[in-house]
Structure 1
Amino acid sequence: MKNRKKTLIIAIICLAAAAVLYLLVVKLSQRSEDADSSDDSLVISSVDSGQITAISYEKDGKSLSFRKEDGTWYNAEDKSFPVDQDSLTTMTNALGAVSATRKLDSPEDLSEYGLDSPVLTVRYTASDGKEAEFTVGDTNDAAGGSYLKISGDDAVYLVASDFADTFNSDIYQLADMESFPTITSDSITDINVKSGSHTLEIKNDSDGGRIVLENGEEKENCASSSVTQFINTVTGITFKSHVEYNCKDLSKYGLDKPTADISVDYTTAETVTETSAESVQETADTEETESETETVEVAKQLILHIGSQNEDGDYYAALDGSKEVHVVSGDTIKELIEKKAADFTDNTILSGSLNNAKGIDVTIGSDSWHLVKQEVAKADDLSDSAETEAETEEKWYAGDTEIALTDLSSAYSDLSGMSAEKILDTAAKSTGDAAISVTVKWEDDTETTVSFTVYDSSFHLAEINGEARKLVNKRDVEKLVEDMTALLKK
């Protein structure tokens, strides 16, 4: 009997639990039934978007208001603010036809949909006097929408989540402000970056290349790839965001005493119209004149002033002559203002192919070798006709001893493939005897001399035609010495 009572009690408890679970499922289903609905979307509010003359909304604790006058949208709080007309058109289009994917006719508690503390409240007024107010609450991730309520309508609707995204709470995201000019790298004739007392300049040379100057002094042997990368960084400058459109106190952004000034000289093609004097004379008594158009290159310059950093590490910036303040990536600015001429130096030790060499002198310790390239008749040329030109080939000799081209090429690649791992800001003095010295005499009658002396426990100092600034790994030098010795002492 007791067991039967226990069983009955357990059954009652299970039944009650099932009832509670059922009610919970029903409740949840009421909030998310739109996720399971396949109903077509329905237009819940419509107006001719071109007739909307006022929009105001609250979002993220900020209130914004715009009015349309004579076809142009203005910031209701500051008519001089440069409102981006396209952004307001996007808003009016969103308000012109608001569609829902689900309608909840009898919502019990608006707080369950986040509508008691909406993320967005937006209102509009149309020229015919029509008005509407929308409040947007929680997002239903499962259904991919947000809950919305219209003033004067008791129902709750599910609308696309991007409805609320249309209304940006940052006024400067809705500003039509200047952008950094589009400049192509090949149109640039000069870039000058001044940071404190340091200046770095890249300019065109007379041969159509680029040269690097630091504090007014020209630096030699600069790698073209490094220069190109620097120029691309300048042309790639963009404004991450806008801060103020009519700044009257530049000191707030450190722009009264800029951290750096970046000036860019460039050319741009412009079309001009010319009317000839003969044409004017011939048509003096008529209403028409003949004119010609031509494209000319016009020299221009922009200067970007760099101010202080914000809390994100980015920099405030302003174009010269403008009152607009913007934000530029901190990484971009640091890449420009922290660059030194040494960073552009070509890190190769020897440029030039063995094919372009006609002689090589090698000194290792007290031993020296003089290698010469000679053009000789091919050994297998069996032609005995005086009228037939004998075929020739190039061979290398050290004295009377032929040096196998494959072996020489391997040893030469130790030097031509060597790169500096560090480049000194100023030239160092070589100390001690050179571990190896190599002079390459080129076909154009120029020559390059490279010698290596110990710098420290890890590096050798490479002196190239008298300039000693490049440090190479000592193991690279040891391999060069080893391979050259094995080649020449056979």
Structure 2
Amino acid sequence: MRKEQKRNFIVTVIIAAVLLAVYVFLVQEEKKQSGNDNTLVYEIEAETIMALSYNSGDETVNLVKKDGTWYDAEDESFPLNQKFLETMVNKTARLKAQRYVGSGDKAFSQYGLENPSNVITVTTTDKAVKILLGDTNSATGDCYIAVEGAGKVYTVDATFPTLFSNSLTAMAVRESLPEMKLEGIRFVQVENNGEIVSFTKGENDIWAMADGAEADSGLVTELIGKIMKIRYEAMVVYRPESGKMAEYGLDKPQARIAVDYTDTDGNAKNYELFISKNGPVGEDADKAARYVYSRDGQAIYIIRESNLDSFFQLTPEAFLSLNVAPVKKENFDTLTITTAAGSAEFTIKRGIGRDAEVYVLNGAEITEARFNSIYYQLYAFSAERRVSDIADQLTKEPVLTYVYSDSAVGGGNVQVELIPYDQNYYGAKVNGKAFLLVNRQRVNEISNEISKYIVDK
């Protein structure tokens, strides 16, 4: 090794040694200044804390304790979550820091404490302690703090300033839906952009749609289950006035959910929820939400849009029972069946009170068993598929038509036409509407059975 290379090597070693010594010295100084982690800044009795105040956005949150319970100082009726306040009290009664940083005006200036980002005032029975929040350490996320008058600067982890940035509404006890039991629900309605889907529970717990058609009980029960699972996610406005309702789009909501039910004490009740068209601006698609308000509720809340989407996609035909026309025997007195070959007319003659029954086919009395052999096939006749209304697509002549007629005052007719749709299905048109597709083979089987009773044209 040449002399010059040797000299450079020695210089490099000396510089490295000096830098190492400086580093060790700085570490030791840091330890002297910082002390141990979790430095106790101060400690007071939690029971003596009577008030807390801090800034949240542009508002000041003022909280007071009376008779052991915490309230909003401006409105004591506000439903404040007491567990939230317990956490705040515990954090401020025994304030622990991550580490000690320094003291004096220079430290205050260096760490943003001359103009604090927030001031937390802890008022006890005999004094007030002010905790100043300064800058945030960009590397660790810790926040620099100081107690007014003490002159020392510390750091606390990010959970502390986050806790004391919560708005009043963020600390609210959220409302929940009233207690509703499935067996007590009598009416359900969902309205979206003016389109209404509604169901009414009738005898034998059978659900009927607005036009009287039977709804699929399983699907209605599933819808009710979704309604009962609705949960308010965050309060936005407590006790909103009409102006606030308009501001959040709830004076003209996009959707409305209504439920009539009987509570556990036998009282008739109604629950009604309004859903806005738009929600908070700037949310990602997976966080998109809507504003909601219940008629008898206390506040406007938000609910994640993904938890409401199913109520925006409802159509009446999607809830139709697959039963084509299950007309009960007591609701008609004439059943007329027509095919291309001819027709058959079944009549039920009843005595006073419609209890004693005589069955007649084409003018001749028959046994109840013979009548039932046809009637129950039609009563239990069901479709394979639900579709949107295809009535305008069913242009061919029906292969089978049957009509239930009730001659009693207020009675009416139910007409079913089975019309060719494609090679696999007939469309079932019931009183002019066709939402069901029935299996062709099943229709042919019923037609063959009915042909035994047909009187030629």
Structure-1 residue corresponding to 2:91:
94
Q: Distance in 1 between matches of 2:28 and 2:256?
A: 62
Could you tell me which residue of structure 1 aligns to residue 422 of structure 2? 454
In the alignment, structure 1 residue 84 sits paired with structure 2 residue 80: yes
2:228 alignment partner, one of 231, 235, 242:
235
Bigger mean CA deviation after superposition, 332-341 or 59-68: 59-68
Counterpart residue identity of residue 219, structure 1: A
Whether the 8 Å contact between 1:462 and 1:469 is mirrored in structure 2 is no
Q: C-alpha separation between the residues in 2 aligned to 1:339 and 1:51?
A: 56
Report what 1:317 is aligned to.
Answer: 292
Q: 1:147 to 1:34 in 2, by over 3 A?
A: farther
User: Is the CA contact 2:257–2:272 (under 8 Å) kept in the aligned structure 1?
Assistant: yes
> Residue in 2 aligned with 1:425?
389
* Pair 299,92 (structure 1): closer, same or farther in 2 beyond 3 Å: same
Output the CA distance in 1 between the equivalents of 2:311 and 2:235. 21
* TM-score for the superposition, normalised by structure 1: 0.58
Q: Are positions 1:253 and 2:248 aligned together?
A: yes
Q: What amino acid maps onto 1:8 in structure 2?
A: R
SS of corresponding position for 1:339: coil
1:329 aligns with 2:304: yes
Q: Does 1:180 align with 2:155?
A: no
Aligned equivalents of 2:56, 2:30: Cα separation in 1: 24
Q: Deviations over 1:360-382 (max 9, x none)?
A: xxxxxxxxxxxxxxxxxxxxxxx
Tell me the alpha carbon deviations over residues 293-351 of structure 1, each in whole angstroms, 9 at most, x when there is no partner: xxxx22211222333412245332222255632223334444224311122245799xx
Relative distance call for 1:154 and 1:11 in structure 2 (3 A) is farther
CA contact (8 A) 1:104 1:157 kept: yes
- CA–CA separation in structure 2 for the residues paired with 1:29 and 1:61: 43
Q: Which moved more, 1:197-206 or 1:304-313?
A: 304-313
Query: What amino acid maps onto 2:190 in structure 1?
Result: V
Change (3 A) 1:195 1:130: closer
Letter paired with 2:123: T
Question: Which residue does 1:135 correspond to in 2?
Answer: 133
Selected match of 1:265 from 260, 269, 284 = 260
Distance in 2, matches of 1:30 and 1:186, equals 73
User: Which residue pairs with 1:194 in the alignment?
Assistant: 191
Opposite residue 217 of structure 2, the aligned amino acid is S
Aligned to 1:305: 274
Q: Give the secondary structure class of the aligned counterpart of 2:293.
A: strand
In structure 1, C-alpha distance between the alignment counterparts of 2:235 and 2:189, rounded to whole Å? 25
Indicate yes or no: 2:204 matched with 1:207. Answer: yes
Q: Tell whether the 8 Å contact from 1:429 to 1:468 is kept in structure 2 after alignment.
A: no
Aligned to 2:330: none
The amino acid across from 1:267 in the alignment is T
Alignment match, 2:237: 244
Secondary structure, in 3 states, of the residue corresponding to 1:244?
strand
**Counterparts of 2:393 and 2:191, CA distance in 1:** 31
Q: Give CA-to-partner distance per residue, 1:90-115, whole Å, 9 cap, x none.
A: 31222122234655577995688776
SS in structure 2 at match of 1:256: coil
Q: Distance in 2 between matches of 1:237 and 1:113?
A: 46
Structure 1 residue 470: Cα displacement: 4.7
Q: 1:96 to 1:140 in 2, by over 3 A?
A: farther
Counterpart-to-counterpart distance in 2, 1:84 and 1:326 = 15
How does the TM-score come out when normalised to structure 2? 0.62
| Bigger mean CA offset, 252-261 vs 175-184 | 175-184
Are the aligned partners of 2:263 and 2:269 in contact in 1 as well (CA < 8 Å)? yes
- 1:423: how far off? 1.4
Q: Is the 8 A contact 2:107 2:153 kept in 1?
A: no
Tell whether the 8 Å contact from 1:306 to 1:315 is kept in structure 2 after alignment. Answer: yes
Structure 1's 85 and 254: CA in aligned 2 closer, same or farther, altered over 3 A? Answer: closer
Aligned residues: percent identity?
22
Whole-angstrom CA distance in 1 between matches of 2:117 and 2:32: 22
Inter-partner Cα distance in structure 2 for 1:265 and 1:14: 86
SS in 1 for 2:203: coil
> Using a 3 Å threshold, how does the CA distance of structure 1 residues 234 and 133 change in structure 2: closer, same or farther?
same
- Report the CA distance between 1:126 and its aligned residue: 0.8
- Aligned-residue CA RMSD (Å): 4.8
Q: Map 1:301-450; keep pairs closer than 5 Å.
A: 301-310=270-279, 311=281, 312=283, 313-321=288-296, 324-345=299-320, 420=385, 423-430=387-394
Distance in 2 (CA, whole Å) between partners of 1:426 and 1:32 is 82
Residue of structure 1 in register with 2:64 after alignment: 67
CA distance, structure 1, for counterparts of residue 314 and residue 146 of structure 2: 56
Distance 1:300 1:341 in 2: 25
Q: Is the 8 A contact 2:50 2:124 kept in 1?
A: yes
